[in-house]
Each structure stands twice: as structure tokens, then as C-alpha cells.
Amino acid sequence: MENKYSRSASQLLNFTQDSYLERTSRPVYAVIFLLPFIVFYELGTVLINTDILNQSQVRVVAFVWLQKALEYVGFSHKIAWMLPPLVVIIILISLQITSCKKWSFGLGDIWPMAMECILLAGPLIVLSLFLNSSEQPTPNATTIAESGLPYAQAQATLNCLSPAAIPLQTAVKYYQADTNNLLANIITGIGAGIYEELVFRLILICVLMIVFQDVLKIARKNSIVFSVLLSAALFSAHHHIIFIDGRLTTNVPFDGTVFCFRTIAGVYFAILFAVRGFGVTAGTHAFYDIIATIINTLFFQQ
């Protein structure tokens, strides 16, 4: 018989109540754990003095989608620009309420969560380094601008590709063409960790589960498999083809190896989300971006 904790917060596994794994999978933990990342990304985007980050249009593409959705429902551009962090918090608080899990929180769990995220980022780093043996095509400001997009949108297109799920040498060459700024790259990667996980895992997987399981009446296990694979493929595809300001834009030449890597990363993050919840998943994504950016700078940058 299922108890009130089963299948809560979109998780496939439920852990012993009040254990570390159960506590840190609670949405309230995700709010508190990710709050410094959110603040760092928001302040960094505003304060870092680069041509890229000082433009209001230039954000992680998942952030732009949230911004445009808020504008569509009636918020002004400036308010919509500031609201996505609040949307993240509201969604997580709503999940906490509906999950029926405890609201208690222990600050002593923060550092173990951070270390867990760093360790969980390790397999993707290893896979990135393994795939990095082959040369990959990378975009630059000239080729993007020649696509016919306005300058600001062309710059936004360059910035839409986070270092997440990109083989390391590819990522560093991309960022050399972009901002050539370690801190700016880290800020962008942290934003990708939060907002891409919100869109492609927390929102998209839940929507796909409703479609497959409730609308199409597909068995739960099959619905999970279909949802994970489709969300991972869309996560990978959005790095190549993006939709901004009503335009479908190709920003990076398609490469099978890179696409497969991002799809694998999407499946990996989806499994993490189902097992460990949103906080650890977004933290792992963000720490992967940070580690990849630092390795790029130290070992691959020419």
C-alpha cells in the first residue's frame, strides 16, 4: 500500500523518512540549496561588465522562454526580466506543499549536498573528456551574425549554448569566440543549470507524463521511459535549434557525437531528477558547468 510519501515531488524512489537522502530530496531543500546559485546568477548577469551579459536580451535560452511567457500573460518587460527566479521558488514551494513532506531543514546538509553534486558531475566530465578526442565544429560571432539575425539576438544566440552537455574542448573554443571571460562563463553555466533543469526536467517531464499516462493511457513505466527519452532529445536539440522572439533559429551546426552526448546528459539528469529531486539535479548541472569551464580555461584554452 502506498503511503503519502510515495511518488511525491515527481520522484521514482522514496527513501527512509528523515534520512539524508529523503531530507535533501525535499523541494524545500531545493529552494534553500539553490538560492545562492540563483542570486549569484542574477547579480552576476547584471553586474559583470561584459558586452554579452550587460544586454537584457542575453540570457540562457530557458530563462528567455520564461521571460517571454511572463510577458505573454501581461507582465511588463522589466518585471518579466526579474520574475523567473521567483517562478522557480514558487514552483518548488508548490511542490513542497503537494508532496506532503516535512518542512524541516538542516543547514548541516548543505555541504554534503554540494559534495554530492560535484561527485555526480564527475561521470559527465569523464565522458566529455573521452569524446573530446575528436575535433568538433564551433560557432563564432561572425557566422551567427551572418544568419541575418539582429545584433542583439545574434549575441543572445551565442549565449544560449551553456557549457552543459558540450564536450570540453568544444565548449572552450565556443566561449573564446564569445566572452573570453571565465566568470561570465561560470555565471552563464549556473543559469543553465537552474533554468534548463526547470524547463526540461521539472516542467517538461511532468507535462509529458500527463500526456502519455493520463491522456494517451500508456502504462506508467512506458510513460516514464518515453518522457525521459523525449525530454532528453529536446534538451539536446535546443542547443542546435532555438525559438526566440517568434523565430526558429539554427545556431550551431549539427554534430551527431555532440547531439548524442547532450542526449545522454539529458537522460542522466532526468534519472537524477527522478531519484534525487530537483535541488541535487540542478546543482549537479550547475557544478558540471563550473568544473567544465574551469578545466577549459586551465587545460584547453590557447
Question: 500573460: which residue's cell?
Answer: 73
Confidence of residue 270 (pLDDT cuts 50, 70, 90): very high
pLDDT of residue 155: 38
How crowded is the C-beta side of 121, counted as CA atoms within 13 Å?
Answer: 23
pLDDT tens digits for 207-218?
A: 999 999 989 999
Mean pLDDT of 171-196: 69
pLDDT tens digits for 3-37?
A: 444 444 455 667 788 889 999 999 999 999 999 99
Amino acid (1-letter code) at residue 14: N
Tell me if 7 is assigned to some domain: no
Separation of first and last alpha carbons in the chain? 59
Domain total for the chain? 1
Amino acid (1-letter code) at residue 287: F
Out of 28-32, 164-168, 232-236, least confident range: 164-168
Tell me if 288 is assigned to some domain: yes
Tell me if 141 is assigned to some domain: yes
22 secondary structure, DSSP code: H
Tell me if 108 is assigned to some domain: yes
Give yes or no for a contact between 263 and 232, defined as CB atoms under 8 angstroms apart. yes
Tell me if 4 is assigned to some domain: no
Tell me if 2 is assigned to some domain: no
Tell me if 79 is assigned to some domain: yes
Residue 175 has pLDDT above 70, yes or no: no
Tell me if 92 is assigned to some domain: yes
Task: Give dist(CA 15, CA 29) in Å, integer.
Answer: 15
- pTM for this predicted structure: 0.78
Residue 160 has pLDDT above 60, yes or no: no
Q: Could you list the residue range(s) of the whole structural domain that residue 179 is in?
A: 14-300
